[in-house]
């Protein structure tokens, strides 16, 4: 048994080495993302771990070549698998697994921090180079004054809802599968009611066909005037053009965005090269971070170990519990 891991970062290497030592399974580490130039390195390996590269979104070449090398499975190092072309994967007999859960508190607490930053106008102050002169420019609000809508109450959303409730906010939630324990403490409402009543909305749903551009111009028109938005989920859940228009019109008063539309195209060249980033950074009430809500040592450890475990499980001919079915 031998694995190859593409797109490895510095922080992942110690966790890969520790896993390999513990399991006695050798892992070939490749710093670059999978591409035409390095795909041949996958020869004579039993499993592959990776984050989908831009090339995997644009061409079936890599899928075909991996199948030619005997690969049967792609172990994706993320929860979202929107970067995988499942038509091509299916055509070449490549099953796909993901990491459905890892340290939900890492993202959950980041979202709570983002809510607090918006309420206290931190983005505005961060934009200013004259902090003392702008101290009274905008007055903040306390959590006890606001209603926070949590969209999606899975592992991460439930952490957000429970944390904000404990800190004194009024919390309402909208979810396809209401959390049984949360239902006793917070009200579950329709999407429309959440949009109408929430002062801040925090997004915690996956990107699927039905959630793509869920926050459209029509949706922003239904939101409470001056409401704010937190997104630590997926960029394309928000129609960025519509968000920009809503910010310009004052319909939305602020946003904390850890993920942007089309961000996957800019990870390699620089997050600040994204045209949406360039436009959004002009708003004093918007704060953007480069998809780091998950980025803690515990979360990276759990992601790395799960990706490697998935690869071994599938290479042994078993069906991983993390198999993605589309």
d(CA 247, CA 66): 45
Give the lowest-confidence range in 32-46, 67-81, 115-129, 170-184.
115-129
Please state, rounded to an integer, the average pLDDT across all residues of the chain: 93
Q: Is 43 considered catalytic here?
A: no
Catalytic residue among 155, 179, 204, 234: 234
CB 204: neighbour CB atoms within 10 A? 27
Write out the H or E segment, with its range, that includes residue 144.
Answer: none
- Quote the strand ranges of 152-217, DSSP E: 170-174, 187-188, 200-203
Catalytic residue among 261, 263, 305, 313: 263
Task: Catalogue all structural domains in the chain, each as residue range(s) with its CATH number.
Answer: 3-101+297-315 (3.40.50.720), 104-288 (3.40.50.720)
Predicted confidence at residue 131, as pLDDT, reads 53
Q: What are the CB-based long-range contacts (under 8 Å, 24+) for 19-28?
A: 19/304, 19/305, 19/308, 23/308, 23/312, 25/1, 25/308, 25/312, 26/1, 26/2, 27/2, 27/3, 27/308, 28/2, 28/3, 28/4
Predicted confidence at residue 326, as pLDDT, reads 77
Predicted confidence at residue 243, as pLDDT, reads 98
Predicted confidence at residue 125, as pLDDT, reads 79
Predicted confidence at residue 176, as pLDDT, reads 93
Q: What is the pLDDT of residues 119-144, one digit of tens each?
A: 999 888 777 655 555 566 678 999 99
Q: Is 291 considered catalytic here?
A: yes
Check residue 243 and report its DSSP letter.
Answer: H
Predicted confidence at residue 42, as pLDDT, reads 98
- Longest distance between any two alpha carbons in the chain, whole Å: 65
Catalytic residue among 291, 302, 305, 313: 291
Q: Is 305 considered catalytic here?
A: no
More confident: 82 or 191:
191
Predicted confidence at residue 51, as pLDDT, reads 92
Give the lowest-confidence range in 58-72, 159-173, 263-277, 310-324.
263-277
Q: For the whole model, what pTM was predicted?
A: 0.88
């Amino acid at each position: 048994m031998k694995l190859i891991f593409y797109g490895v970062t510095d922080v992942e290497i110690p966790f890969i080495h520790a896993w390999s030592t513990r399991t006695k399974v050798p892992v070939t580490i490749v710093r670059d993302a999978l591409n035409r130039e390095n795909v041949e390195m996958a020869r004579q390996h039993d499993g592959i771990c990776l984050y989908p590269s831009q090339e995997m979104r644009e061409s079936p070449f890599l899928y075909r070549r991996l199948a030619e090398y005997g690969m049967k499975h792609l172990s994706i190092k993320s929860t979202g698998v929107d970067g995988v072309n499942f038509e091509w994967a299916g055509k070449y007999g490549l099953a796909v697994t993901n990491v459905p859960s890892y340290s939900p508190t890492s993202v959950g607490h980041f979202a709570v921090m983002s809510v607090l930053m918006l309420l206290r106008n931190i983005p505005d102050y961060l934009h200013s180079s004259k902090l003392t002169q702008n101290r009274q420019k905008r007055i903040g609000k306390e959590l006890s004054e606001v209603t926070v809508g949590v969209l999606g109450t899975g592992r991460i959303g439930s952490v957000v809802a429970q944390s904000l409730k404990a800190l004194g906010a009024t919390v309402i939630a909208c979810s396809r599968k209401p959390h049984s324990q949360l239902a006793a403490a917070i009200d579950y409402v329709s999407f429309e009611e959440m949009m109408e009543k929430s002062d801040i909305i925090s997004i915690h749903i996956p990107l699927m066909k039905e959630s793509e551009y869920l926050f459209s111009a029509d949706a922003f028109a239904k939101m409470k005037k001056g409401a704010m938005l937190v997104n630590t989920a997926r960029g394309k859940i928000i129609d960025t053009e519509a968000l920009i228009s809503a910010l310009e019109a004052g319909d939305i008063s602020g946003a904390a965005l850890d993920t942007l539309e089309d961000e996957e195209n800019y990870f390699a060249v620089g997050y600040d090269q994204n045209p949406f980033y360039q436009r959004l950074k002009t708003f004093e009430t918007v704060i953007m971070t480069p998809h780091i809500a998950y980025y803690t040592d515990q979360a990276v450890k759990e992601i790395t170990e799960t990706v490697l475990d998935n690869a071994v499980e599938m290479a042994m001919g078993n069906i991983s519990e993390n198999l993605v079915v589309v």
